[in-house]
Amino acid sequence: MEESLIAKIESELLEMVDEDYKEDVQNYFNNEIDNYGVRTGEVRKLARRYYGEIKNRPKEDIFEVCEELLETGISENRTIAFQWAHKLKAQYETDDFSRFEGWVERYVNNWGACDDLCTHALGELVYQYPDLIENLKNWCGSDNSWKRRGAAVTMIYSIMNGEVLDETLEIADLLFSDEEDLVQKGYGWTLKEASKDHPRAVFDYVMDNKKEMPRTSLRYAIEKLPEDWQDKAMDR
């Protein structure tokens, strides 16, 4: 059944290919993207429609279909898989962390895929089970840069829905000197989101660390702060 379902999905995707968009997408990433060239909004509408065909199946069965989509390595299929994984949020258990971790290791190869999984399905899981933040802290020392970026951006879901300021700052500390640009942007983005509810705390953090803080992270972190605070933060 999965093969037939995926074949139908791919057949529809191929009918929606936009060659100009396919070429433009490559400009957003540093590495080659294997994609059909279908706009994300159209992919998400298709995903919602086809989810109706499997939504009553057991969670594990749906996860298996997701993994079959992920195995193709095609960007649009990955978008559908991650969207369906998020649809299962009412059934999440802590053991699902290891599955999502495996997905980051095997199927995430660009910042878009990292952020899609980590700010939705994985972010929801960690929000439901805050003890899993300890697992994210362990990611900060990984050789896999997507796990390191993921450790930061996964926190955004909890930041927007709860009080996790201390944990957010701790992850920023763990990633503070990371040399990878996309990791610097990741924890800078997380600090920016935290600054919306905790502007003073983020400002103080930046001011305490601005001499050593990578410029990229600093610029992201202060983006939503008052302009005079931004000026003070940028004055080194």
The string of pLDDT tens digits covering residues 209-226 is 999 999 999 999 999 999
The Cα diameter of the chain in Å comes to: 61
Q: How confident is the model at residue 3 (pLDDT cuts 50, 70, 90)?
A: low
pLDDT in tens, 81-131: 999 999 999 999 999 999 999 999 999 999 999 999 999 999 999 999 999
Query: Structurally, what CATH architecture does the domain formed by 1-91 represent?
Result: Alpha Horseshoe (1.25)
Handedness of CA 83, 88, 94, 96 (dihedral sign): negative
Closest among 214, 194, 216 to 203, alpha carbons compared: 194
Q: Where are the domains of the chain?
A: 1-91
